[in-house]
Copies of this chain bind each other. A is one copy, B any other.
């Protein structure tokens, strides 16, 4: 067989303002070039412990078990559902967006009875509806929700869900893929039993790991299973013996370069200060929202329930989604996200996450929109977006 060697690897340096991955600090990228260690090397175990401690802080848990799943955010989703649900268990799933639907899809594959609380895309769940759905079941094992719905840009309040779960002795599973690093997660205070995130959004590392946290109740529920999880790779009982305790037991070979990246990204988040980091995401996201509205664009989510790290905006009538985004990519070197699921072709999703969340990026994106929108058939008032965002930024200084 003749061989053909691949092209030289020189990907362009894009401005990543989609739904993730976001841009990553050179410091984090450089961490991945650190020497590899054996998966049970005492020096690697120290780094694992360090990551677990930092994750406890960013997740807001003192007692919880924290570790990164060796896969992307969706692997963290599957790990939680596959370990907390047994066939025949009932799960109430809040489906107010694409990732809520994914929760329901995975829970269904695992043999659980899935009660979907279908909400309007672009709004948080109706808590009365959730409460009714839970009460209507003889026994709910798990309530599953998305904290920051990446497909719509909605922040789901969690406090009431935590109370509801406790009242019904159910477990609360929360997707914090897009919130961790930009919003308070507060695992202990809310009463979250399992949460998973991803490294490539507001945490500031490349994709490849799913940081997770489990409450003692969740660990107890796993210990009490009557069946083994279908998945061996994501079996949390086994993973815990590798990530915790005095005598570590080999499970799989940890992707140490990714662990190094997560370690460095978490250090940077603490150096910045978590509150400062949340404020930065809010400030830049608010400026972007102000600018987009000044251009005459309609935002999907009102500020009362919006995420500042990802802003969904209706694509104006007459604009060709792909043609516009391709122009943005080719002429401005900027990626924004298209719509997912029922929002395909209907909204754009503009991310200001992690390293990508800067005032400069918000202004540059608005400047690009001001130039491109008229060429694609939407008359935006020249200069209005950048000017409005700039004023919003100045007001916060």
Contacts and interface: CB of A to CB of B under 8 A. Distances in A.
Nearest to A37: B11
Interface string A197-219: 01010000011100000000000
Contacts of A266: 6
A71 B71 contact: yes
A346 to B, nearest CB: 16
State the copy count for this chain: 2
Nearest to A8: B267
Nearest to A4: B53
A258 B260 CA distance: 13
B6 A50 contact: yes
A311 to B, nearest CB: 17
A47 B13 CA distance: 15
Contacts of A57: 1, 3-4
A5 B255 contact: no
Interface in A38-81: 38-39, 41-44, 46-47, 50-51, 53-54, 57, 60, 62, 70-75, 77-78
A158 interface: no
A270 B36 contact: no
Contacts of A51: 6
A256 interface: yes
A221 interface: no
Interface residues of A, number: 91
Interface stretch (A103-111, A136-144, A285-293, A379-387): A103-111
A30 interface: yes
A39 to B, nearest CB: 7
B35 A13 contact: yes
Given A6-B54, A33-B33, A77-B233, 13 more contacts: A7-B50, A10-B34, A12-B35, A14-B35, A16-B37, A21-B36, A23-B36, A26-B33, A29-B32, A36-B207, A78-B231, A233-B234, A255-B258
